[in-house]
Amino acid sequence: MAQLIKVRPTKIELVKLKRRLSLSSRIHKIMKDRLSILTMEFLQAARQTVTAKQHTIDAMTQAYKAMTIASGYHGYVALQKELAASQADITVTAGPRNVAGVRIPSLELNEPTGGLRGYNLAQTSSLVDSASDTAREALRVIIELAELQRGLELLGTEINRTKRIANALEYILIPNLKATIRFLAMKFEERDREEKSRLKRVKVILARKVVV
């Protein structure tokens, strides 16, 4: 239930309360917009996370399968020896992105430059190439998943905060202001009515005096 705010019953206070109500309504509108955007982004991120998780599991399964086949073909020791000298420059570009005031990390796996795989192509089969490709794909989806999960956490926290503010405005501050404005308006009307009846009474008394 709305509570009355303690204010002096004057017209100036009424004007100030009306101004505060207008301000609160504007903040509420922005909060509602922001909440709607954040919720939309959160749901989208949640859906993408589910897909990315499935992709990660698939990619990892395929990568391990390809690696197992390659090591079975070449021999584990020979493959390890071949891959020990391989140098793959893996770089990830990281930076923030801003979603309605929430700073979410953004990650992107950079494409390898030069197209070199880092191992001797002449001495290895296409099975190693396939294992390398699937491992790279697995790495890409892991990075994608990491970005999505962190974004999901940050969005969730911000949604909670925004929801609390929007609810406080919607259910406490704005109703209290409205109730107080209504109360003051009724009080002023009552005062006007009293004033009017007092004037009428004085008029009657004066009229009687004139007659007497």
Partner 1 sequence: MYTPDLSGDSQSRYDRLMETYLSTELRLVNSGLPRVQVSLSQLLAEPQPQISCADGTQQMVKRSELRYLAGLLDPADYDSLLLPVLIEMAGQQSEATVLCRTETEVKLISAMLEMNMRCEQPGRLRIYKPQMALIRKKMQTTTQYVFSLSVEN
30 lies in the binding site for partner 1 (CB under 8 A): yes
| Structure-token pair, residue 174 | 């704005």
26 lies in the binding site for partner 1 (CB under 8 A): yes
Q: Which of 71, 124, 132, 176 binds partner 1 (CB under 8 A)?
A: 176
In the complex, least distance from residue 27 CB atom to partner 1, rounded to whole angstroms: 5
In the complex, least distance from residue 4 CB atom to partner 1, rounded to whole angstroms: 9
| Backbone dihedral region for residue 7 (phi beyond 0: left; psi -120 to 50: alpha; all else: beta) | beta
Q: Which of 10, 18, 23, 212 binds partner 1 (CB under 8 A)?
A: 23
Give CA 34 to chain center in angstroms: 8
Q: Which of 49, 86, 106, 149 binds partner 1 (CB under 8 A)?
A: 106
Kindly tell me which of 24 and 134 has the beta carbon lying closer to partner 1: 24
Long-range contacts of 164-168 (CB under 8 A, 24+ apart): 165/31, 166/28, 166/31, 166/32, 166/35
Kindly tell me which of 71 and 180 has the beta carbon lying closer to partner 1: 180
139 lies in the binding site for partner 1 (CB under 8 A): no
Measure the CA–CA gap between 185 and 89, rounded to whole angstroms. Answer: 73
Per-residue contact flags (x/-) with partner 1 for residues 65 to 104, judged by CB under 8 A:
----------------------------xxxxxxxxx-x-
| Backbone dihedral region for residue 135 (phi beyond 0: left; psi -120 to 50: alpha; all else: beta) | alpha
Torsion angle of the four alpha carbons 112, 113, 118, 119, in this order, in degrees rounded to the nearest 10: 90
Residues numbered 42 to 61 that lie near partner 1 (CB under 8 A) are 44, 48
Residues numbered 145 to 174 that lie near partner 1 (CB under 8 A) are 172
Angle at 152 between CA 111 and CA 157, to 5 degrees: 140
**Helix, strand or coil, per DSSP, at residue 212:** coil
**Which positions lie near partner 1, rule CB under 8 A?**
3, 5-8, 13, 16, 19-20, 22-27, 29-34, 36-37, 40-41, 44, 48, 93-101, 103, 106, 108, 110, 172, 176
